[in-house]
Amino acid sequence: MTNKYMYFIANWKMFGGLNSIKSLNNVIRFLKSFKNNKYIKIIYCPPNTLIHTMVIKFKKSKIQVGAQNCHSHENYGAFTGFVNCNMLKSVGAKYVIIGHSENRFAGESDKLINHKIKSALKSGLKVIFCIGETLKQKRKKITKRVLEKQIKLGLNKIKIKDKKNLLIAYEPVWSIGTGLIASNKDLYEIIEFIKKKNKGYKILYGGSVNPKNIDSLKLIKNIDGFLVGGASQNSKKFIDIIKKTYN
Ligand code: PGA
């Protein structure tokens, strides 16, 4: 794969402090000099505490910054501990991850996720919308039904014109942080299913992506990019994933 436009999203989760910023110099240097850089879109999603610092760090680079979640309310309000999309945008975020399974587990419903997506798009943020089945659902062979429902409810009343501002990330829950990964054949089939039912969306894959399994994952033709958790916290590993995708 040498000339396909691909997204590489670094989801740092609740990791990283100001002392993690220096390592980003490696990524900035790498992207600047990499032969395929015009096809690469890197988006860092750090904890909110690092968004502004990263935005400044990436000022002269093409790398963009996103948040990992947001509140559904558009304006300021009495919501202790939360930030809304306009606030994220005001510190330079361009994207926001919504519907991550770790937040679905913490109680986020499809309806709330739908509100958050609408609020994000209205504020001008682009959305990385996560979907995925649990191991139990996979064993019951209801993966497609689960994904269809998550998409139907999550994207309820989302305007067609917003399609270009929304990426779908397919992350099997049983793959996240476990080292387990579906076969290429299964991933191809599920991504094809999502694309057929939801024309026009870019579909990313997430779940245990690392410098070892990328050699195989990159062969899946219908994937438009990767959402990387654990491995993205190490700049060398993250760079390796990108490099190998284009090798
Ligand atoms: P992982 O996380 O790469 O550590 O499995 C992916 C994610 O949760 O987005």
**Tens digits of residue pLDDT in 165-214:** 999 999 999 999 999 999 999 999 999 999 999 999 999 999 999 999 99
Q: What residue's CA is closest to ligand 1, atom 6?
A: 229
Give the span between the Cα atoms of 211 and 217, in whole angstroms: 10
* Contact 230 CB / ligand 1 (< 6 Å): yes
DSSP secondary structure string, 139-160? HTT-HHHHHHHHHHHHTTT--G
Q: Which two tokens stand for residue 205?
A: 């894959």
Ligand 1 centroid to residue 227 C-alpha, Å: 7
Does position 1 have pLDDT exceeding 80, yes or no? no
Q: What is the mean pLDDT of the chain?
A: 97
Ligand 1 atom with least separation from CA of 176: 5
* Contact 97 CB / ligand 1 (< 6 Å): no
Q: Phi and psi of 58, rounded to 5°?
A: -95, 10
